[in-house]
Amino acid sequence: MKNPTSAISVEFFTKLVYLVKNSISVASVVRSLIPTRRRLRLDPRNKLYFPHEPGKQVQSAIKIKNTSKSHVAFKFQTTAPKSCFMRPPGAILKPGETIIATVFKFVEPPENNEKSIDRKRKVKFKIMSLKVKGVMDYVPELFDEQKDQVTVEQILQVVFLDMARPSPALEKLKRQIAEAETALETRKKPPEDTGPKIVGDGLVIDEWKERRERYLARQQVEGEDSV
């Protein structure tokens, strides 16, 4: 004879498991329907402009700003990793911080009857973001370790610009590339040395000590003049 209590327990447990499973699936569906809040502002917003020079390596630039209140890591991805690379390929931005990233691409000449426009549509870039806890070193593995928290900020289309035809987009691209090069040179410079100056062979001059000696000498001269 079956124990009615055990039968009820099994039925209850089965219903509980069913409810838990369904509640999880409903929650995941709800999360997917909620619009994702962007952490980054991009300029250009959804395109990467390149000079159209077949057979050459050309470059583009994009301004990336962290508009959130948290530290955010970003990362580039491309469908053509063999012919494209980014500098930097990723970084961590403080709240409100802006960086100009440079994107390099080798423009392959069209094959046979293939048009350049057909080839450019095949290449896309993706910028992803991830909220991180405070200041830390950027490593690409961050995005693998926290896949569930990664947001796709934008998929960027490649647009080629005719160098022989002046346009606002071309002028803006030139300005951003120049700005990116300046920022890179600034980052390369060693930090200013705020410590004591070293002059000659081991002679250390303490700036504060030097100022104090000048001050005391001036006071002594003024005292002698008053006498």
**Using one digit for the tens of pLDDT, what is the confidence trace for 166-206?**
999 999 999 999 998 888 888 777 766 655 555 554 455 45
**Using one digit for the tens of pLDDT, what is the confidence trace for 49-92?**
999 999 999 999 999 999 999 999 999 999 988 889 899 999 99
Going along the chain from its start, the domains and CATH numbers come out as 40-188 (2.60.40.10)
CB 143 within 8 Å of CB 132: no
Sheet with 84-87: list strands edge to edge: 40-43, 57-66, 98-106, 84-87
pLDDT at residue 5 is higher than 80: no
**Using one digit for the tens of pLDDT, what is the confidence trace for 7-32?**
556 666 666 666 555 554 554 444 44
pLDDT value of residue 202: 47
Answer whether the bond into residue 88 is a cis peptide, omega within 30°. yes
Cβ within 8 Å of residue 79, ≥6 positions away: 122, 123, 124, 125
CB 124 within 8 Å of CB 155: yes
CB 67 within 8 Å of CB 45: no
pLDDT value of residue 198: 52
Cβ within 8 Å of residue 51, ≥6 positions away: 58, 160, 161, 163, 170, 173
Q: Which residue has the tokens 């350049």?
A: 116
Amino acid residing at 215:
Y
pLDDT value of residue 185: 84
Look at the pTM and tell me if it is higher than 0.75.
no
**Using one digit for the tens of pLDDT, what is the confidence trace for 96-146?**
999 999 999 999 887 665 555 544 557 889 999 999 998 899 999 999 999
